[in-house]
Structure 1
Amino acid sequence: MSELQNPNVLMCGTGEYTTGWTGSGASTSDKKIGVVALTLFDLRRLGKVADLSMVGVSGKKFPEIRQHLEKNIAGVYKDMDVSFEEFPKSNLVDTEAYKTAIDKLSPGQAVIIFTPDSTHFPIALYAIERGLHVLVTKPATQLLEHHNTLIEAAKKHHVVCWVEHHKRYDPVYSDARAKAAALGEFNFFNAWMSQPKSQLETFRAWAGKDSDISYYLSSHHIDICCWMLDGIAVPTRVVASAATGIATSEPYNCVPQTEDTITLLVDWESVKSKTHKGTAVYTASWTAPLKAGIHSAQHWYYMAEKGDITVDQAHRGYDLTYDDTGKSWVNPFYMKYSPSESGHFDGQRGYGYISIEKFIDAVRSVNAGRTQPSDYDKHGLPTIANTVLTTAILNAGRISLDEKRPVGIKNDGDLWVLQ
């Protein structure tokens, strides 16, 4: 074993979740200064990562992004260095700039991917094949076949490949999962997640074209359900239904195939009992009201043989009221943006931060020979292998909508496949 080294890290994607900057300016959501870049700047301050870089499609955005980060991060938190190398350079537009950025890294360094859903697979595979560790936002891929390919590629190249399912680190969700293990056979799960219609403006460039609201939002709770049911039940069939008409109308004018709200009905079968079967309903929407006081409405209900669990993630007994905007419910458990007493960033306990830090810790440990990438599959962490059923359900849902039929899920040897 060797000493822990600090990896260089490339951020793929320059948008809201990475920087808090969108195509129309600073984000108006609860991620006004982003999550990924802020976390990595702080991890660099704390001595866990080395050089940082960032890649997008257009280099023309970087002057505004740098100004935004300088003002809202370096200008707010003490000792926060917001420097990074950019790709593409010189105001160029390059859809494959990620290859140039990845090629500058050495094996054992890391790539964090927050780009449109349709680009996750080619970027992740390109990085893995060059010996780089990868953290990719959800959904890992849109196709189950691609997910299976990433599982095999990560094994072959002996790298860490995780999916950024940060809900697994929420103390409420993780505790609920532990409690569910004692409730016996699974019976019913119902999940709702929505964001306001303003998100259709933020995501207009890809909404309905490259992905849908089920991939974008339901992936959170589908993963939590799959995580809770690991070793208890497996999904066997998916039927999808959608509501339409708002996203495609004024003032949003998304492409004609954009759904407003998508619901997936999923059949589950017990892995231990021939008589026990369950059902799950996962619904997601990006046409919720604009002034509901929350950016993400999110709640779910779990019923099993010996009890049930109800979680309301949006209302945690902490609300603020402003004269100009009214009441809002806030969630500092996700990301705490207010500085510490010393003026430093103070969000290290937020589960959005922890999700990225745990990945960096795994990268450092594997590089030092202290652990193997496969070790993390055993601990309920969102590795690429542990999240395959989430992709299976999402992919089956998309096929069900497009082909207007139920879609089966089954295990074929070592692979999960769709029917």
Structure 2
Amino acid sequence: MSDQKLNVLMCGTGEYTTGWTGSGASKSDKKIGVVALTLFDLRRLGKVDQLGMVGTNGKKFPDIRQHLVDNIGKVYRDMDTTFDAFPEGDVINPEAYKDAIDKLSSGDAVVIFTPDSTHFPIALYAIERGIHVLVTKPAVQLLSHHSELVAAARKHNVVCFVEHHKRFDPVYSDAKARAATLGEFNFFSAWMSQPKSQLETFRAWAGKDSDISYYLSSHHIDIHCWIMQGRAVPTRVTASAATGIATSEPYNCVPQTEDTITLLVDWQSLSSSKHKGTAVYTASWTAPLKAGVHSAQHWYYMAEKGEINVDQAHRGYDIVNDETGKAWYNPFYMKYSPSESGHFDGQRGYGYVSIEKFVDAARSVNAGLTQPADYDGHGLPTIANTILTTAILNAGRISLDEKRPVTIKHENDQWILE
């Protein structure tokens, strides 16, 4: 690996990037965020150089800077929390990302954690300027946009990953390897939920710009697509939704907001015409408030020769507190407690690894050691490797809106929906 460091622009200033929400520090399990903390640490370790952060409202940055100093800079040794901010001052500019990206050079990188509906324009703007891109899930909302990003990343020879961090969870990745030994796929069921309090965090866009299926089911749909890669393809999607909680007091989300969305998906084996499978993916953001976990998450996989059952909400690690009761924690995702020397100690968490893998890939391509296309063959969540996840999510949205099943087809080297 070259010793050339990577300059990175963080797009989005919210909970996942900084741990800061409009009403103060997040009350979730990401109180000091994931993205900025990881990049500050990668800068400490010599992989990253200049950092920037872009939002739409410059007024937020003084509070964000103070929050990062208090909760990261003063907590971990040798942690520099400085970054360039866009827009500066009391400015509101929904297209500030263009000014920020225009200041980057070819070979720099952007990490996009913004509302789902904004991923495509930001990612495309960066790719067309020779910038490497890591975009959070769902990559985009339309299959056509996903295909456009695949083509643009190839044309401009840049790394484009989707931040599907569940692929780096050691349980999920081990289960994926074991699934390959169980023969033809038969049935998959996934459940993922977050408490109703998330609707307060996401009220600005919940139901308007995106839905709970795009936001949460994208995790498990991607895991299933990853397990099935080269073995089976989705062919038809039928969606159903529960409503009434998000749109009522005290959340008052827009009238079209669903509470819980279920996608029923038909799968066809690529090696046996008689083997078909079914999958059921359900996600909700109206789970109870005191369940003891932030994200309930489990899935079940059944095949010809066996089954796999994964519960990643309860990892054999629970804590009881007089004030709050019983809670299950997940230090495998992000470990926030400092090391013996007082430094950040979460480098093995899969939330961190996911971002580091992207940084390493971008640096390797910049050094001429690898090509972006190489990573498509590594089982990594590249933009090319994640297209069927978008196909299923997009088909699910059409199915809900038009109250009909949607077919997924592969024609002329393109995935299309009918």
TM-score > 0.5 by shorter chain? yes
Q: 2:289 maps to what in 1?
A: 290
SS in structure 2 at match of 1:8: strand
* Structure 2: tracts of 5 or more residues without a match: none
Shift of 1:24: 1.1
Partner of 1:360: 359
Secondary structure of the residue that 2:326 maps to in structure 1? strand
State the alpha-carbon separation in 1 of the partners of residues 248 and 380 from structure 2.
41
CA distance in 1, matches of 2:403, 2:126: 36
- In structure 2, the residue matched to 1:92 is 91
Q: How many residues align?
A: 418
Residue 209 in 1 paired to residue 203 in 2?
no
Q: Structure 2 CA distance, aligned partners of 1:32 and 1:220?
A: 21
Give CA-to-partner distance per residue, 1:165-184, whole Å, 9 cap, x none: 00000000000000000000
1:137 and 2:136 equivalent? yes
- The equivalent of 1:113 in structure 2 is 112
Asked if 1:60 is matched to 2:33, the reply is no
SS at match of 1:68: helix
Distance 2:189 2:411 in 1: 28
Q: Does 1:412 align with 2:411?
A: yes
* TM-aligned CA deviation for residue 4 of structure 1: 3.5
In the alignment, what sits opposite 2:72? Answer: 73
Taking the aligned partners of 1:410 and 1:170, their CA distance within structure 2 comes to: 31
Query: Take 1:55 and 1:82, find their aligned partners in 2: how far apart are those partners?
Result: 15
User: 1:319 touches 1:328 (CA, 8 Å); kept in 2?
Assistant: yes
Equivalent residue number for residue 306 of structure 2: 307
Residues 227-254 of structure 1, C-alpha deviations (whole Å, 9 max, x = no match): 0011111000000000000000000000
SS of equivalent residue, structure 1 residue 357: helix
Distance 1:110 1:407 in 2: 36
Structure 2 partner of 1:182:
181
- Displacement of 1:23 after TM fit? 1.1
Q: What are structure 1's unaligned runs of at least 5 residues?
A: none
The alpha-carbon deviation at position 413 of structure 1 amounts to 2.2
1:153 equivalent in structure 2: 152
State the distance in 2 between where 1:128 and 1:339 align.
36
Q: Give the TM-score, by structure 1 length.
A: 0.99
- Provide the residue aligned with 1:49 in structure 2: 48
Q: Distance in 2 between matches of 1:133 and 1:69?
A: 25
Taking the aligned partners of 2:317 and 2:216, their CA distance within structure 1 comes to 23
Question: Matches of 2:350 and 2:130 in 1, distance apart?
Answer: 27
Which digits, 9 at most, give the CA deviation of each residue in 1:377-416, with x for residues without a partner? 0011000000000000000000000000000001112111
Aligned residue identity for 1:227: W
Q: CA deviation at 1:3?
A: 3.0
Give how far 1:102 is off: 0.2
Distance in 1 of aligned mates of 2:23 and 2:198: 12
Q: Deviations over 1:352-392 (max 9, x none)?
A: 00000000000000000000000000011000000000000
Any idea what SS the aligned residue of 1:272 has?
A: coil
Cα distance in 2 for residues equivalent to 1:91 and 1:357: 33
Offset at residue 133 of structure 1 (A)? 0.1
TM-score between both structures, scaled by the size of structure 2: 1.00
Matched with 1:397 is 396
Aligned residues: percent identity? 81
Q: Which amino acid aligns with 2:80?
A: D
Render the CA deviation track for 1:311-343: whole Å, top value 9, x for unaligned. Answer: 000000001111111110000000000000000
Tell me the secondary structure at the aligned position of residue 51 of structure 1: strand
**Structure 1 residue runs of 4 or more that deviate by more than 3 Å after TM superposition:** none
For the 8 Å contact 1:4–1:365, the answer to whether it is kept is no
Alignment of 1:191-206 (within 5 A): 191-206=190-205
Structure 1 residue identity aligned to 2:151: E
1:190 and 1:413 map into 2 onto residues whose CA distance is: 31
Q: Which amino acid in 2 is paired with 1:305?
A: E
C-alpha distance in 2, partners of 1:7/1:228?
Answer: 31
Which residue does 1:265 correspond to in 2?
A: 264
Residue 21 of structure 1 pairs with residue 20 of structure 2? yes
RMSD of equivalent CA atoms: 0.6
How far apart, CA to CA, are the structure 1 residues paired with 2:310 and 2:126?
37
1:172 matches 2:171: yes
Looking at structure 2, the residues matched to 91 and 106 of structure 1 have their Cα atoms a distance apart, in angstroms, of: 27
Whole-Å Cα distance in 2 between the matches of residues 413 and 351 of structure 1? Answer: 37
**Segment drifting more, 409-418 vs 266-275:** 409-418
